[in-house]
Amino acid sequence: MILIKQADVYAPQYLGVKDVLVCGGRIEAVEDSIEPNLPSCKVIDGKGKKLIPGIIDPHVHITGGGGEGSFHTQVPPVSLSELLNGGVTTVVGLLGTDGISRSVENLVAKTKALCEEGITAYACTGSYGYPSTTLTGDIRKDLMFVKEIIGVKLAISDHRAPNVTVDELIRLASDARVSGMLSGKCGMLVLHMGNADSALSLVREALDKTTIPVKIFHPTHVTRAPKLLQEAFDFAKQGGYIDMTCGTERRKRTAEYIMQAKEQGVPLNRITMSSDGMGSWSKYDQEGNLIQIGYSAVDTIYQELKAMVQDYKMPLEEALCFMTSNTAHALEIFPKKGCIRAGSDADLLLLEGDLSLDSVIANGNIMMENHSLLKKGTYDK
């Protein structure tokens, strides 16, 4: 049992100074004042600090991404310590360009490992390619029978994409939709978006030809080209979710794209943020030759949160939504995740006044306290 006393609580909406009681991995109560009645209850002083929901990162290459520059450019798997230092308490793992040497079997195994180490982890079957690489040979069975798998991934409008037809896209989205319904999951189709001029045209055509709900399509990396971004804004106005990648090399910070969306009347509750952590970024010359490669850190959402509040003067409760409640709604795990309320999972971050990370609680367990990690992955140094 954990009692956090007199913290400024952002749920993500601001609730004021509250006591928060955690018991059995869940939030038991959020009250003006709660007195500990058991000697075993650990009391954390939250005075002068901010208590927020744990960050949900919907796009991390947990088994490592990369490989576009041959075998030596494969990125290593993510560690528990890296995620915790970025305030991430829930993560969705997926594959990238390499669906050949990287397998869904390995992805699910790493997902299970992260859960065993103390955070919440989900996965998407598939990769860039089509037909989708799977665990069972069928994305429908992957979604139906593998509890960790909540969706499928595909790349479009990218020079590494499989260039599917609209009918193939419809079939994949339909399979994700139905198997998600049958298994009680969101059944999303995560779309890695490249910067080709085709942008979201294939998705628009699929929506025009069918009655597949717009919420099934989850385009990510939508800020990487002006045309794509504008089409993504229009897509969000239709009710779809769009995902902005933090920390990538570009001219603007994610906060500026958020402000641009706000100016255009885009519903902000349809925007999520992700890190693309452990995924490679690459640059190519005009002939398509690789000239530079690196990979993204998993703390970029947290860093973006600080930038939005400190540099762009966005209210904390507004900035938080893009990495907590919005994402939880998109993944259909709200209010289990993404908020601070009685009955929700106890995934909590305690921040200092300067937004530095003081403590991390995941599933009711203290993983970091007083800026020091108490829990590391099995092989973390």
> What are the catalytic residues?
276
Which residue carries 């319904």 as its tokens? 181
Closest Cα partner for 276 from 293, 295, 292, 252?
A: 295
Which residues does 256 contact at the CB level (< 8 Å), separation at least 6? 312
What values do phi and psi take at 325, rounded to 5?
-65, -40
Q: Half-sphere exposure (CA, 13 Å, Cβ side) for 193?
A: 28
Query: Both tokens of residue 212?
Result: 């597949």
DSSP assignment string, 258-269: HHHHHHTT--GG
Q: What's the Cα-to-Cα distance from 126 to each of 131, 153, 252, rounded to whole Å?
A: 8, 5, 30
Helices (H) then strands (E): counts for the chain: 10, 19
Which residues does 109 contact at the CB level (< 8 Å), separation at least 6? none
Kindly compute the dihedral angle of the four CA atoms of residues 3, 6, 12, 16, in this order, to the nearest 10 degrees: 140
The DSSP H or E segment spanning 303 is: helix 300-310
C-alpha Rg value of the chain to the nearest Å: 20
